[in-house]
Amino acid sequence: MTVRSIGIIMNGASGRMGYRQHLLRSILAIREQGGVLLSDGTRVQVEPMLVGRNLAKLRELATKHGIEHFTDDLDEALANPEFPIYFDALVTQARVPAIKKAIAAGKHIYTEKPTAETFADALELAGLARQAGVKTGVVHDKLFLPGFRKLARLIESGFFGDILSVRGEFGYWVFEGDWQPAQRPSWNYRKEDGGGIVSDMFAHWNYVIESLFGRIESVYARAVTHIPTRVDENGKPYAATADDAAYAIFEVEGGTIVQLNSSWAVRVNRKELVEFQVDGTLGSAVVGLFGCKIQPRNATPKPVWNPDIPETHDYESDWLEVPSNDEFENGFKVQWEQFLRHVLEDAPNPYDLLAGARGVRLSEKGLESSAEGRRVDLPPVTL
């Protein structure tokens, strides 16, 4: 078996997501297994180069994990021909100029989302990459999680018949920071720093809906700030200028209606922090990131509305848990392997910078819908 290697520049790998999901659980896990396996049976090992502003922290991480290459000079990293892939886990505000540099250097691009703060910038990145002839990928991690992979199988099998509607709930109570520290950084709640649940989550909802149910044709959304004042990491109160909840209806090609609530000001009463119910003519499913249960048409109970007597039927017991029937690895790692195969052997990868731009547009149009109080149409995105 032939083994060779490919270098990956990892910008922002010392941050929370960059370190935990992308470096530790993806790239180092791939390295530990001997590299990514290609269709011809060869393995290609991965060689990360850590890039960031804090050289001491990079050195510490490199020493801890046996990584040879690290630098605080992005230009130096991009000039190295042995590292043809550039990965970006920076804050959104710093992403566009860094990716433009990487494209100009001829690097293949893999990046976290959102890919930019504006749709115009995100579309420009996709256009620049196409002109440069480099391959691109955007993290679509939730599609690779067990719950959504089970849902995809159900859809592919025809289990639902015609899919009528999807109802989704996402969120949890993020503490205000006064009597308990908040679970999310304070910048998430400042619009001027790129915060807001629409900007954070609609990029996810775009690829989830698009990949599972079809292209989104319109959005009607209401974004609100339920908690106007929070306390930052230093114990100082600040004005929460960004939205902390959004209530949206998406119309999908073919007629499916998707209703999604996203909130950092909701207390959880469900098994997982995100839950989707998909209803079709032949059956329904309730899906989380890991769990998936179904109720087919021929096993559906016949409820009768009677508000005068207490309900005695246990409706939850009418659902059947879908078995895993497979071993599901970390979703971030699985998509990294898909992107590496795309670069190395031109394997399919629909999750490119253009897909990322569609996610940014959904966030932008969602906020536009909220501000103007109207439904906003979403024509196909082209370069």
Spatial separation of the C-alpha atoms in residues 274 and 170, rounded to whole Å: 4
Q: In the block, which residue shows the tokens 């566009």?
A: 96
pLDDT in tens, 168-178: 999 999 999 99
What is the reported pLDDT for 16? 86
Asked whether residue 321 is domain-assigned, the answer is yes
Tell me the mean pLDDT in the region 226-252.
Answer: 98
Residue 131: partners with Cβ closer than 8 Å, 6 or more residues away: none
CATH number of the structural domain spanning residue 282: 3.30.360.10
Q: Tell me: do 136 and 275 sit in the same domain.
A: no
Q: Tell me: do 118 and 206 sit in the same domain.
A: no
Confidence of residue 341 (pLDDT cuts 50, 70, 90): very high
Q: Tell me: do 112 and 40 sit in the same domain.
A: yes
What is the reported pLDDT for 326? 83
What is the reported pLDDT for 10? 98
Confidence of residue 31 (pLDDT cuts 50, 70, 90): very high
- The pTM of the whole model exceeds 0.85: yes
Q: Which amino acid is at 113?
A: K
Tell me the mean pLDDT in the region 32-55.
Answer: 96
Asked whether residue 380 is domain-assigned, the answer is no
What is the reported pLDDT for 325? 85
Q: Tell me: do 17 and 78 sit in the same domain.
A: yes
Q: Tell me: do 251 and 112 sit in the same domain.
A: no
| Total domains, the chain | 2
Count other Cβ atoms within 10 Å, centred on residue 162: 10
What is the reported pLDDT for 103? 98
Asked whether residue 127 is domain-assigned, the answer is yes
Mean pLDDT in the chain?
A: 96
Asked whether residue 379 is domain-assigned, the answer is no
Q: Which amino acid is at 2?
A: T
Asked whether residue 381 is domain-assigned, the answer is no
Spatial separation of the C-alpha atoms in residues 51 and 255, rounded to whole Å: 46
Residue 247: partners with Cβ closer than 8 Å, 6 or more residues away: 221, 222, 224, 260, 261, 262
Please give the share of the chain, as a percent, with pLDDT higher than 70: 99
Q: Tell me: do 131 and 18 sit in the same domain.
A: yes
Tell me the mean pLDDT in the region 312-339.
Answer: 94
Spatial separation of the C-alpha atoms in residues 115 and 118, rounded to whole Å: 9
What is the reported pLDDT for 45? 97
Asked whether residue 371 is domain-assigned, the answer is no
Q: Which amino acid is at 58?
A: L
Confidence of residue 260 (pLDDT cuts 50, 70, 90): very high
Q: Is 241 exposed, middle or buried (0-12, 13-18, 19+ CB in 10 A)?
A: middle
CATH number of the structural domain spanning residue 49: 3.40.50.720
Pick the closest to residue 211 from 164, 253, 263 (CA basis): 253
Q: How far is CA 334 from CA 83, 289, 327, 344, in A?
A: 21, 15, 12, 15
DSSP 3-state of 300: coil
Q: Tell me: do 220 and 300 sit in the same domain.
A: yes
What is the reported pLDDT for 85? 98
Confidence of residue 2 (pLDDT cuts 50, 70, 90): low
Long-range contacts of 63-71 (CB under 8 A, 24+ apart): 65/23, 65/24, 65/28, 69/7
Q: Tell me: do 120 and 226 sit in the same domain.
A: no
Tell me the mean pLDDT in the region 365-370.
Answer: 98
Lowest-pLDDT choice from 10-24, 99-113, 206-220, 251-265: 10-24
Phi, psi of 3 (to 5 degrees): -125, 125
Angle of the 197-212 helix axis to the 146-157 helix axis, nearest 10: 30
Asked whether residue 375 is domain-assigned, the answer is no
What is the reported pLDDT for 111? 98
Q: Tell me: do 189 and 242 sit in the same domain.
A: yes
pLDDT in tens, 105-153: 999 999 999 999 999 999 999 999 999 999 999 999 999 999 999 999 9
Confidence of residue 157 (pLDDT cuts 50, 70, 90): very high
Lowest-pLDDT choice from 87-96, 131-140, 156-165: 87-96
Q: Which domain holds residue 288?
A: 143-328+360-365
Q: Tell me: do 158 and 116 sit in the same domain.
A: no
pLDDT in tens, 311-322: 999 999 999 999
Q: Tell me: do 7 and 153 sit in the same domain.
A: no
Tell me the mean pLDDT in the region 71-78.
Answer: 97
Q: Is the pLDDT of residue 3 over 70?
A: no
Q: Tell me: do 278 and 239 sit in the same domain.
A: yes
Please give the share of the chain, as a percent, with pLDDT higher than 90: 95
Asked whether residue 382 is domain-assigned, the answer is no
